[in-house]
Amino acid sequence: MVVPRLIERKRDGAALSGDEWRALIRAYATNEVPEYQMAAMAMAVFFRGLEPAELSALTDAMLGSGDRLRFAGERRPRIDKHSTGGVGDKTSLLLAPMLAACGVLVPMMSGRGLGHTGGTLDKLEAIPGFTTGLSLRDTEAQVRALGLAMIGQTAEIAPADRKLYALRDVTATVESIPLISASIMSKKLAEGLTGLVLDVKFGSGAFLPEPERALELAKTMIDLGAARGCPTVALITAMDRPLGIACGNALEVAEAIAGLHGAGPADLMTVTYALGIEMLLLAGVDPDGPAARRRLEQTVRDGSALAAFARMVAAQGGDAATIEHPERLPRAPVQRDVPAEADGIVTRVEPRALGRAIIDLGGGRHEVTDVVLPDVGLEVPAKPGQRVQRGDILAVVHARNAAQAGAAVTAVRAAITVGDTAPDVLPLIAWRVTTAGATPYGGS
Ligand code: URA
């Protein structure tokens, strides 16, 4: 294999063979192909895309570069949910315990904050003592015993993707549909699932804002899953405003706990139930959406979802008392209200800018090595289209000190605008996508 010739062919729009992709990824994973050559290849793929056969070979090669979760002899369905990333999106924290309480196994492998978006692992680690670093064998045992585990990508899972992802992050090659699809699906397929639900975001705060691109990403991942015995369904959901109110690690855990008590914000619960229904349908637990919804609501009403969450927290070293008493979660010392300065209609609640403000507060990373603060963040009750009066609270900043709070207030003021005209707001859940294609959500 002469790597410069492969790069050259991809650069000029040719398709590489499956054998070539397999050899390249194998050599990259073992450091025989240097990062600079892989960076050039990633950029060639970014511009030229991949043929379906190339995408399959790349996905399988990345999956095959590592180990996977094994559930031999396990007859219960195993379903995960994956979001392409947003601000305030804590649905995973609700769904894993709700599904476990329905008898579905949830081996959930999540990521850290990326760009302006938050990460489930960072949120979970806001719970004192909680560890997301379980080995694959310990994860399997916990999933079998408790019905759920929430872990990070271990060094054993798709190591080629781990390397390639870090490389893409610093070479402006993240926003490529085939590269995102191969990256996400190589990890999800390593979880030994019987079904996968994708929450593909669109709108200004999504990695791929245009709906057409979100739909194409969904379809690409669905086809990869289906062809590998992992039925996959996607919902295309709005990320032109944060989901729920809480944005920031401990704040989001507290909001998820409120949701498990039946007191979550309406938009968060709508998306959570919609995704949960898809998970139960894929699991074959319920025959239709309304039955699945009733089952999920029951896990909230009878406390079984909250109990499953507390059991998982205790098993993964976390202080389960914080689940019963969320007021014991880390709380930033400074809170500053951001009130509306005039009467009007909220015209914009820009997630990208809010996500960046959270990073500046220390709630996310500028550099991979940055330590994430659990307690800082924003509460953003303002929603686009909402009528407000002067003095109404648009947001609350949670900061470590007054200077950082002041800077965040300025950023929030720029991100949330109030005007005279009602804005166009994206539908919260726009489409449902299956192997058969996309249908408007709620439509047929
Ligand atoms: N998340 C991933 O795991 N990979 C990508 O490429 C993008 C988001």
Residues 421-438 have a mean pLDDT of 97
Instruction: Report CA(382)–ligand 1 centroid distance (Å).
Output: 29
| pLDDT, tens only, 320-333 | 999 999 999 999 99
Looking at this protein, which amino acid is placed at residue 39? A
Residues 422-434 have a mean pLDDT of 97
Query: Is the Cβ atom of 180 under 6 angstroms away from ligand 1?
Result: yes
Rg (CA), the chain: 21
| pLDDT, tens only, 111-159 | 887 778 878 999 999 999 999 999 999 999 999 999 999 999 888 999 9
pLDDT above 80 for 337: yes
**Residue 114: predicted pLDDT:** 74
Query: Is the Cβ atom of 165 under 6 angstroms away from ligand 1?
Result: yes
For ligand 1, what atom is nearest to the CA of residue 184? 3
Give the DSSP letter of residue 78.
Answer: B
Residue 117 β-bridge partners: 114
**% the chain with pLDDT above 90:** 92
User: Residue 233 corresponds to which tokens in the numbers above?
Assistant: 């369904």
**Residue 142: predicted pLDDT:** 98
Instruction: Report CA(388)–ligand 1 centroid distance (Å).
Output: 37
Query: Is the Cβ atom of 183 under 6 angstroms away from ligand 1?
Result: yes
Query: For atom 1 of ligand 1, which residue has the closest CA?
Result: 184
**Residue 115: predicted pLDDT:** 78
Ranking 169-178, 278-287, 352-361 by mean pLDDT, the lowest is: 169-178
d(Cα 134, Cα 59) in Å, to the nearest integer? Answer: 24
| pLDDT, tens only, 80-104 | 999 998 999 999 999 999 999 999 9
| pLDDT, tens only, 17-74 | 999 999 999 999 999 999 999 999 999 999 999 999 999 999 999 999 999 999 999 9
Instruction: Report CA(147)–ligand 1 centroid distance (Å).
Output: 26
In sign, the C-alpha dihedral spanning 266, 109, 241, 425 is negative
**Residue 182: predicted pLDDT:** 97
pLDDT band at 205 (very low <50, low <70, confident <90, very high): very high
List residues with catalytic annotation: 82, 161, 168, 183, 187
Residue 157 β-bridge partners: 67
**CATH code of domain 79-325+427-440:** 3.40.1030.10
Instruction: Report CA(304)–ligand 1 centroid distance (Å).
Output: 32
Instruction: Report CA(162)–ligand 1 centroid distance (Å).
Output: 10
d(Cα 424, Cα 384) in Å, to the nearest integer? Answer: 8
* Adjacency order of strands within the sheet including 232-238: 79-83, 195-202, 232-238, 429-434, 437-440
pLDDT band at 443 (very low <50, low <70, confident <90, very high): low
**Residue 444: predicted pLDDT:** 46
For ligand 1, what atom is nearest to the CA of residue 183? 4
Domain ranges across the chain: 3-49, 79-325+427-440, 332-419
d(Cα 338, Cα 409) in Å, to the nearest integer? Answer: 6
Closest to 187 measured CA to CA, from 136, 263, 252: 136
Instruction: Report CA(434)–ligand 1 centroid distance (Å).
Output: 20
Query: For atom 5 of ligand 1, which residue has the closest CA?
Result: 180
Report strand pairing: 195-202 vs 232-238.
Answer: parallel
The structure's pTM equals 0.96
The span from the first CA to the last CA of the chain, in angstroms, equals 49
The CATH number of 332-419 is which of 3.40.50.1100, 3.90.1170.30, 3.30.56.10, 3.40.50.300? 3.90.1170.30
Q: What are phi and psi of 423, to 5 degrees?
A: -80, 165
Q: What are phi and psi of 295, to 5 degrees?
A: -65, -40
**Residue 175: predicted pLDDT:** 87
Per-position b or e across 188-217, b if 16+ CB within 10 A of its CB: bbbbbbbbbbbbbbbbebbbbbebebbbbb
| pLDDT, tens only, 215-270 | 999 999 999 999 999 999 999 999 999 999 999 999 999 999 999 999 999 999 99
Query: For atom 2 of ligand 1, which residue has the closest CA?
Result: 184
For ligand 1, what atom is nearest to the CA of residue 180? 6
Residue 196 β-bridge partners: 80, 232
Residues 307-330 have a mean pLDDT of 97
Domain 3-49 has CATH 1.20.970.10: yes
Torsion, Cα 277 278 282 287, to 10 degrees, reads: 50
pLDDT above 90 for 350: yes
Counting every residue written for the chain, the total comes to 444
Query: Is the Cβ atom of 220 under 6 angstroms away from ligand 1?
Result: no
Query: Is the Cβ atom of 184 under 6 angstroms away from ligand 1?
Result: yes
